[in-house]
Amino acid sequence: MDEVVDALRAEKRVLITCHVKPDGDALGCLIALHRAMQQLGADSVMYLADTEAIAPEFSWLGGLGEAIIGSPPDDAAARTLVTVDCGSAERIGNEVLVEKAPRTINIDHHADNTRFGDINLVMGASSSTAEILYSILNKLGVEITTEIGEALYTGILVDSGRFQYSSASAQTFRVAAELISGGVDHAAIFHHVYETVPLAKTRLLCRLLTNMTIACDGKLAIGVIGRNDFELAGAGNGLTEGLVDNLRAIEGVQVAALIYARPAGALEPGQKNRNEPLYRVSLRSSSETLDVQRIAKAKSGGGHRQAAGFTAAGETPEQIIAYLTESVSGIICQD
Ligand SMILES: [Mn+2]
Mean pLDDT confidence for 124-133: 95
- The one-letter code for the residue type at 124 is G
Number of domains observed in the structure of the chain: 2
Higher pLDDT, 112 or 335: 112
Q: What's the chain's average pLDDT?
A: 92
* 323 and 206 share one domain: yes
- Encode pLDDT of 153-180 as tens digits: 999 999 998 998 888 999 999 999 999 9
Q: Residue 289 above 70 pLDDT? A: yes
Q: How far is the CA of 74 from the centre of ligand 1 (A)?
A: 28
Distance (angstroms) between ligand 1 centre and the Cα of 235 equals: 27
pLDDT in tens, 55-98: 888 999 989 999 999 999 999 999 999 999 999 999 999 888 99
Verify that 275 and 306 share a domain, yes or no: yes
C-alpha 114/C-alpha 129 separation (Å) is 15
In a shared domain, residues 261 and 129: no
- Which pLDDT score is estimated for 137? 98
Instruction: Give the distance (Å) from ligand 1 centre to CA of residue 129.
Output: 5
Q: pLDDT band at 149, cuts 50/70/90?
A: very high
219 C-alpha vs ligand 1 centroid, how far in Å? 29
Domain that holds residue 232: 199-333
Q: What separation in Å is there between the alpha carbon of 207 and the centre of ligand 1?
A: 30
308/210 same-domain check: yes
Reported as a pLDDT band with limits 50, 70 and 90, residue 304 is: confident
Q: Quick one: 143 and 221 in the same domain?
A: no
**What is the distance in A from the centroid of ligand 1 to the CA of 58?**
14
| CA 236 / ligand 1 centre spacing (Å) | 26
- For 61, residues 6+ apart whose C-beta sits below 8 A from its C-beta are 27, 28, 31, 150, 151, 154
Report the alpha-carbon distance of residue 22 to residue 51 in Å, rounded: 11
Of 129, 161, 194, the position where a domain reaches its end is 194
Confidence of residue 335 (pLDDT cuts 50, 70, 90): very low
Amino acid at 72: P
Q: Do 62 and 186 reside in the same domain of the chain?
A: yes
Give the model's pLDDT for residue 333. 56
Ligand 1 centroid–CA 79 distance in Å is 24
- CA–centroid distance, 212 to ligand 1, in Å, is 30
Do 282 and 257 lie in one domain? The reply is yes
CATH number of domain containing 85: 3.90.1640.10
Asked if residue 141 and residue 68 are part of one domain, the reply reads yes
For 7-35, what is the mean pLDDT? 96
**Within 10 Å of residue 291's Cβ, how many Cβ atoms?**
17
Among the three residues 194, 215, 250, which one is the final residue of a domain in this structure? 194
From the CA of 155, how far away is ligand 1's center (Å)? 7
Which residue, 153, 179, 194, sits at the end of a domain?
Answer: 194
Return the amino acid letter for 220: L
CATH for 294: 3.10.310.30
> How far away, in angstroms, is 25 Cα from ligand 1 center?
5
Q: 110 CA distance to ligand 1 centroid (A)?
A: 7
Residue 34 carries which side chain, given as an amino acid letter? H
Question: What's the CA gap between 24 and 197, in Å, rounded?
Answer: 15
The b-or-e profile of 99-128 (16+ CB within 10 A means b, else e) is: ebbeebbbbbbbeebbebbebbbbbeebbb
Task: Say yes or no: 67 and 187 in one domain.
Answer: yes
State the distance from the centre of ligand 1 to the C-alpha of 128, rounded, in angstroms.
Answer: 5
Ligand 1 centre from 185 Cα, in Å?
Answer: 21
pLDDT at 19 over 70: yes
Cα(18) to centroid of ligand 1, in Å?
10
- Distance in Å, CA 23 to ligand 1 centroid: 7
